[in-house]
Amino acid sequence: MAVRRNIALLSALLLVSVSAYVEELDDSFLETRGVDDIWLIKFYTPWCHLCRQLDPLWHQVGSELRSLGSPVNVGKSDGSANTGMAKEFHVRGYPTILMWKKDIKYSYPGPRTRDGILDFANRVGGPLVRSLSSLQLFQHAMSRHDVMFMYVGATSPLKGNYTLAAEELIIYTSFFSGTRDILPKAVSLPILPAVLVFKDGTYYTYNEERDGELKSWIDRERFPNYSKIDSFTLYAMGDSGKLVVLALVEELGSCDEGLRLKGLVEKVAADYRETYSRSFIFGFMEGSDYIQGLVMGEVTLPSLIVVDLSIDAYFLPPSTTKKEKDLLDFLDGVLDGSIQYQGGNSIHQRILRIIYEVKSTVLLVYDQSPAAACLLVSFPFLMISVFFYTCWRVRSAMKNVDGDEATHPSAPLPQRRKILADKKSD
């Protein structure tokens, strides 16, 4: 018993110490916050299940940032009680994670994971564009980032555009700057200033005539050419203007066919990058829940699909993709229009998607609680019945009122005589 009490006491002390790194914020925070303070804030409500699940992780984030000496303060706020805070930050759902830095509010777009949130806090909490002063610092940055952008050269209009793009896209990726002599000799830069992206073990240089607006180019190139993709990342890829080639495989380890399909997609992504990189992003996704919502049906695993998140459309290969040529023919067919997309965001498709989502929700609730599902299905019919019954009662009452008014002494004499004669004849 004594051991149990000691363990319980230690757990309680640990919880209190960790909670000390996360401050509960109310509406007064809007007036008391320092101008230069940087805050990472989670908005929640007491009845939100996902908010409660996120709470232990949130305290870990607060503890980690404090131990690293980060300038980022961590807080949380009950959006249902502190409506001023929720309105100021335009909170629409819960949980919502945002950073407030120098009167600019940044919304966290990634998965609710410790590493994802910490990376966001460290990236947005620091300088928008981090300056690198040596080859060693450049190599260190390369080791920590799958994708990183870099401005090379002196002050110029291009650097101004680069900084403006960083201000908006810092929530997604990392921005650096430096001089030519800190880069490896293998990096060729015939013209300065220049903007580069380092990813996939190589680098690519921005060219305005070929690539268009700088911000749009960064938005397209901020994803690796091939990677593991989750639902958050896939949704964000819709803003890139590219189609996403996905190998869908099982969550708990791929079978031989799944491994073969993943390898085929990765090989084509690497070997044909110059051909397809401006049109496609390649990757694999474990599980098919998100894609099933897009196609509104069951998806067999493993399988191949190309999705266009900008219009909620998808392409399916016309035959089994066994060889490299099969995949290349499929991608070429998507690009030249010989393979038509399915789905889309037309009114008809939106209605079908709403029906599918309602049906899926009811089936999910039924699996967990049949009684609750029956109540959920019957509720709309009950409300319609109540509406028609109320209309019938109102109409009946109005008829009775009209009859009473017609026989009232103040009614016209011919009308009263006619009604009295009708009653006698009855």
Assign 11 a pLDDT band (cuts: 50, 70, 90). very low
Question: Is 376's pLDDT higher than 70?
Answer: no
**DSSP assignments along 164-226, one per residue:** HHHHHHTTTSEEEEE-GGGS-TTS--SSSSEEEEEETTEEEE--HHHH-SHHHHHHHHSS-SE
User: Which token pair is 368?
Assistant: 């967990």
pLDDT confidence of residue 348: 77
pLDDT confidence of residue 268: 94
Q: List 74's β-bridge partners, or say none.
A: 40
pLDDT confidence of residue 292: 85
Report strand pairing: 38-44 vs 96-101.
antiparallel
Cα–Cα dist 311/315, whole Å: 12
Query: By the 8 A CB rule, do 212 and 184 touch?
Result: no
Query: By the 8 A CB rule, do 304 and 367 touch?
Result: no
Cα–Cα dist 35/79, whole Å: 23
Tell me the average pLDDT across 198-222: 91
Tell me the average pLDDT across 178-201: 92
Assign 373 a pLDDT band (cuts: 50, 70, 90). very low
Query: By the 8 A CB rule, do 255 and 263 touch?
Result: no
pLDDT confidence of residue 378: 62
User: Which token pair is 101?
Assistant: 């830095």
Amino acid in position 363:
L
Is 391 a residue of the active site?
no
Sequence-separated (6 or more) residues with CB below 8 Å from residue 271: none
Task: Say what percent of the chain tops pLDDT 70.
Answer: 80
Question: Is 221's pLDDT higher than 70?
Answer: yes
Task: Please tell me which residue in 48, 255, 374, 391 is annotated as part of the active site.
Answer: 48
| Residue 4: exposure state from Cβ atoms within 10 A (0-12, 13-18, ≥19) | exposed
Assign 19 a pLDDT band (cuts: 50, 70, 90). low
Which of the listed ranges 78-87, 245-254, 366-375, 383-392 does the model predict with the highest average pLDDT?
78-87
Question: For 27-66, what is each residue's pLDDT tens digit?
Answer: 999 888 888 899 999 999 999 888 899 999 999 999 999 8
Is 255 a residue of the active site?
no
Assign 417 a pLDDT band (cuts: 50, 70, 90). low
User: Long-range contacts for 359-364 (Cβ within 8 Å, ≥24 apart)?
Assistant: 360/293
- The H or E element that residue 25 is part of is none
User: Which token pair is 7?
Assistant: 């363990």
Least confident of 39-43, 141-145, 237-241: 237-241
Question: Is 285's pLDDT higher than 60?
Answer: yes
Task: Please tell me which residue in 51, 255, 374, 391 is annotated as part of the active site.
Answer: 51
Sequence-separated (6 or more) residues with CB below 8 Å from residue 76: 22, 23, 24, 25, 41, 42, 43, 44, 58
Q: Comparing 336 with 4, which gets the higher pLDDT?
A: 336
Query: By the 8 A CB rule, do 194 and 153 touch?
Result: yes
Sequence-separated (6 or more) residues with CB below 8 Å from residue 365: 372, 373, 376
